[in-house]
Amino acid sequence: MATCPNCGNKIPFWNIKAECKNCGVSIPNYNWMERLEEDNKNAEQAFGVFNRTMNRVRYSLFGTKLRIARLVLTFLPIIAFILPWASVKSEGDSFQLALFSFNGSKSAVDIISQLFSNGSLIKNDIAFEGTFGPATFLLVGTIFYFLTLLFMVISFFMSIIKCKKPKTRSTITFDVIAIVTAIVSVALFAYAATAGARCDAFTLGSLTAINVSGGVSLGIISVVVLFGAALGINIAVAVAPAKSDEQLEEERLAKVAAKEEKERQDELKREEARLKAQKEAEEEQKQIIAEAKRKVAEKKMPLRLKKENNSKRGAVLNTVLFLL
C-alpha cells in the first residue's frame, strides 16, 4: 500500500486521485524539484557505473595487443579438436579421438552416441571384459576428451565473463584443467589400443574391433602447441600491469574531448566554407548586375548622342535665325 509523501497517510490501491484525502497535497507534484535533482544524481551515478564497466570491458578484451592476442589464442585450441589425437585401428571398426573422422573411422561423437543408444550393451561389454578392458579405456578416454572441450570453451568465455577483472586467473585454472584432461584422454585412448591388441578383439555397443593396433596420432602436436599457447598468453595477461578505472576514465574523457574538438573544428571549416561560398556568390551577383548595367548603358549611349546632336543643331539654327 502506498503512502502520502507529505503526511504519511496510507493510500488504498483503489484511490486513483492525484491529491491526498488527508492533507490535500498533489502527490505527483510534491517536492518535484528535489526529486528531479535526485533523479539527475541517480542518472549520473548510473551512467558513471555504465561508463566504468564499458571501459573495463573494452580494455580487458581489446585494450592492448597482448589482450587481443589472448582473445584469439584462447579460441584457437578449438581447432585441435578437428585433428585426431589418438587412434584405435582394426579390421572391424576403427576409432579416432577426434570430433569428426574423415577416413571412415568412428569419431568421438560416434562413441558417445553408442553410450546413449546402446548403453545396456556397453554395460555388458564392460562387465564381460572386466574393469580394465579396452572398451572401458576407449569410453572413459572419450569422456575425458569431451571434458577437455568443455573446459576449453569455459576458459574462452571466462576471458569475456571476467572482463571486469583484467588480472583474473580463472582462465589459467581452466586451461590447466583442460591440459590435464587432454593428457588423460590421449593416454586412455592409446592404452585402449594396447589393451585391444592383447585380447585380439573387443566390442563397444554395436561396434566391434578385431586385430587391434594404434596409439597416439600426430594431432597431439596441435594439442601441445595450441593449448600451451593459450595457457602462456593467459599467464602473460595475468602478470602484465593493468590500468586502473581512473586511468581508463581519463582516457575515455580525453577521447570524448578530442572527438568533440574535431567535430567543432569540422563545423568551423564548414561554416567558413559556407561563408566563402556566400561571398563568392555575392561577388558573382555584383558582377552580373554590373555587366547588365554596362550593357544597358551601351544601349542608351546612341540615343543620348543623338539627342545631343539634335540639341547642337537646334542651337546653331536658333543662332542663325537670330542673326538674320
Give the per-residue pLDDT at 186.
92
Question: Do 79 and 35 share a domain, yes or no?
Answer: no
Residues 193 and 213 sit within 8 Å (Cβ to Cβ)? yes
Domain match, 88 and 48 both? no
Strand ranges of the sheet holding 86-89, from the earlier edge strand across to the other edge: 95-96, 86-89, 213-216
Q: 71 and 170 share a domain?
A: yes
Domain that holds residue 46: 24-62
User: Can you give the pLDDT at residue 141?
Assistant: 92
Its pTM stands at 0.65
For the chain, the first-to-last Cα distance in angstroms comes to: 126
SS3 at position 114? helix
Q: Taking the CB of residue 32, how many other CB atoms lie within 10 A of it? A: 11
Which residues lie below 8 Å from residue 251, measured CB to CB, with a gap of 6+? 55, 243
Residue 265 within a domain: no
pLDDT at 182: 92
Any domain includes 320: no
Task: Indicate whether 71 and 194 sit together in one domain.
Answer: yes
Distance CA 122, CA 166 (A): 46
| 47 and 119 part of one domain | no
Name residues of the chain where pLDDT drops below 70: 1, 5-6, 8, 11-18, 22, 24, 27-32, 163-164, 166-168, 298, 300-324
Q: Looking at the structure, tell me whether residues 53 and 168 fall in a common domain.
A: no
| pLDDT value for 6 | 66
Give the residue from 243, 274, 305 where a domain finishes. Answer: 243
Residue at a domain's end among 225, 243, 261: 243
Same domain, yes or no: 40 and 128? no
Tell me, what's the pLDDT at 148? Answer: 92
pLDDT of residue 207: 84
Separation between Cα atoms, residue 209 and residue 291, nearest integer Å: 104
- Dmax of the chain from CA atoms? 163
CB 70 within 8 A of CB 175: no
Residue 219 falls within a domain, yes or no? yes
